[in-house]
């Protein structure tokens, strides 16, 4: 055989913006929307000047999303700041992939000239919010101004590695809340060996904000580590392997330390239609300690150039050391993307997950549905609107312990954003939320209005 040349190309795509992702990038706001990363692995073999292409889909499903582990799922009341993408430059891609309808990134969060490496990229965001009805503690509803400043720097270490540090200074006009300085550090990267694609992410975050589940301001440290590996087995099949460590230390509430793994076998039935089966297991050091196993299946279907479907579902089997009955919980993540016009994006999502609770001897099962609309206006502005409903249901994990009352949480938001001077951005927003529960002191209704501006060098 004459000379053989292999050219490996990687494309990444985000299933839906807005979540923290832990393979080649580490986005923000891990609480609000489901997210998917997909890698398309293309091998070009050149024989005597002729090209024979084998296109293999390596679909990497993150444990933090589709494994749906017992990690505490916090819901913040105050709208979070925007943040920048920390995706390494080699993993950046400007257009959607084969299984992806929407473009991968919001222009407000992406650095210009992403191809440069070995540089420092400073960034800063300022946000002003006026909110009503926010709980500083149970039965204590407050109207307050919240001002946040987040100056940070992204170190582009190499084409496949980035390190970001961002402190966030938050000030409240209402003295029942505590001013604080949040901290965020994220190391993100990957490597390729033959046909294997490896990913590593390590993140530390300190935050202090009002939470829906607790009815009070919660300060907490979180540490998240993810190791992933993906490989095509042949032209139709691929495997995704993942190991996670998630450590959460909230003040005045129980800690949780979790170690887990989820592994997938994927099969491409035909172009744009992929199915998969997955199995996982994990251990949670909390009260009580928990061992769990998961069995799941998934379907990914790009029905047309304008429509795609993603469904992951299965069951989680949990056993507790505190003498409580074993639990079986359904697991679900479903997303539909529809792009009727070039600059119009509509998405629907639904999920059910079982999570560690802030409270001892209880498991928090969250059922959620939501919809979002994104529309570009006049070529420069981006209109985003969304609505969500979640039902937080608590289940006892120990004998003789009564579960807390459930919570029905509704939220809606609308924002208008733009970029200018190439590196600057601005946005105005409005949000409304309502938490209904029979748990004394936890119900509230809040309206918030504000704006943010940012600059990325």
Q: Where are the domains of the chain?
A: 5-456
Which of 103-112, 196-205, 286-295 shows the lowest mean pLDDT across its residues? 103-112
> Could you say which DSSP state residue 76 is in?
B
Evaluate if residue 100 carries a pLDDT over 90: no
Evaluate if residue 69 carries a pLDDT over 80: no
Direct distance between the N- and C-terminal alpha carbons of the chain, in angstroms, rounded to an integer: 50
User: pLDDT tens for residues 204-223?
Assistant: 999 999 999 899 999 999 99
Single out the residue of 58, 61, 10 nearest to residue 238, CA to CA. 58
Q: Which residues contact 239 (CB under 8 A, 6 or more apart)?
A: 230, 231, 233, 263, 264, 265, 266
- Which pLDDT value is given to residue 164? 96
- Do 100 and 301 meet the contact criterion of CB atoms below 8 Å apart? no
- Which pLDDT value is given to residue 74? 64
User: How far is Cα 65 from Cα 197, in angstroms, rounded to an integer?
Assistant: 19
The confidence band for 401, taking pLDDT boundaries of 50, 70 and 90, is confident
User: pTM of the full predicted structure?
Assistant: 0.80
User: How far is Cα 368 from Cα 380, in angstroms, rounded to an integer?
Assistant: 32
CATH number assigned to the domain covering 5-456? 2.40.160
User: pLDDT tens for residues 330-348?
Assistant: 999 999 999 999 899 999 9
Residue 288: cis peptide before it, omega within 30 degrees of 0? yes
Q: What is the CA radius of gyration of the chain?
A: 22
SS3 category, 348: strand
**pLDDT over 70 percentage in the chain:** 78
**Mean of the pLDDT values across residues 90-99?**
57
Which of 101-105, 199-203, 297-301 shows the lowest mean pLDDT across its residues? 101-105
User: pLDDT tens for residues 124-160?
Assistant: 999 999 999 999 998 899 999 999 999 999 999 988 8
**Cross-strand bridge partners of residue 393:** 365
- Which pLDDT value is given to residue 143? 97
**Mean of the pLDDT values across residues 417-433?**
94
For every residue of 223-241, DSSP letters joined together read EEEEEEEEEE-SSSEEEEE
């Amino acid at each position: 055989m004459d000379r053989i040349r292999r050219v490996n190309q990687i494309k990444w795509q985000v299933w839906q913006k807005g979540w923290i992702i832990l393979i080649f990038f580490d986005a923000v706001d891990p609480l609000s929307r489901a997210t998917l990363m997909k890698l398309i692995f293309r091998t070009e073999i050149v024989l005597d000047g002729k090209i024979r292409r084998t296109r293999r889909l390596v679909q990497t499903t993150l444990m933090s999303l589709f494994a749906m582990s017992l990690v505490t799922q916090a819901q913040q009341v105050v709208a979070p700041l925007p943040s920048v993408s920390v995706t390494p430059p080699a993993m950046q891609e400007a257009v959607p992939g084969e299984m992806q309808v929407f473009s991968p990134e919001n222009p407000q969060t992406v650095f210009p000239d992403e191809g440069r490496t070995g540089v420092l990229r400073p960034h800063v965001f300022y946000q002003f919010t006026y909110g009503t009805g926010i709980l500083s503690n149970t039965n204590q509803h407050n109207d307050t101004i919240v001002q946040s400043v987040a100056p940070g720097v992204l170190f582009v270490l190499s084409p496949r590695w980035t390190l970001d540090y961002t402190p966030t200074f938050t000030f409240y006009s209402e003295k029942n809340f505590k001013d604080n300085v949040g901290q965020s550090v994220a190391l993100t990267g990957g490597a390729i060996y033959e046909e294997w694609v490896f990913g590593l992410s390590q993140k530390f975050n300190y935050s202090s904000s009002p939470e829906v589940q607790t009815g009070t301001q919660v300060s907490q440290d979180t540490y998240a580590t993810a190791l992933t590996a993906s490989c095509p087995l042949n032209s139709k099949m691929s495997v995704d392997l993942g190991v996670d460590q998630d450590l959460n230390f909230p003040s005045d509430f129980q800690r949780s330390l979790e170690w887990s793994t989820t592994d997938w076998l994927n099969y491409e039935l035909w172009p744009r239609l992929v199915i998969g089966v997955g199995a996982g297991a994990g251990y949670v050091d909390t009260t009580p300690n928990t061992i769990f196993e998961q069995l799941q299946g998934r379907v990914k279907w790009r029905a047309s150039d304008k429509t795609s479907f993603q469904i992951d579902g299965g069951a989680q089997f949990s056993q507790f050391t505190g003498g409580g009955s074993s639990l079986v919980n359904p697991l679900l993540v479903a997303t539909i993307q529809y792009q009727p016009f070039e600059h119009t994006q509509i998405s629907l999502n639904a999920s059910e997950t079982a999570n560690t609770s802030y409270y001892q001897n209880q498991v928090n099962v969250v059922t959620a549905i939501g919809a979002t609309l994104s529309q570009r206006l006049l070529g420069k502005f981006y209109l985003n609107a969304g609505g969500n409903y979640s039902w937080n249901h608590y289940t006892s994990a120990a004998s003789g312990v009564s579960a807390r009352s459930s919570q029905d949480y509704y939220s809606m938001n609308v924002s208008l954003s733009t970029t200018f001077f190439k590196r600057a951005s601005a946005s105005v927003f409005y949000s409304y939320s309502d938490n209904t529960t029979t748990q004394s002191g936890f119900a509230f209704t809040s309206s918030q209005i504000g704006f943010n501006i940012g600059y990325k060098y």
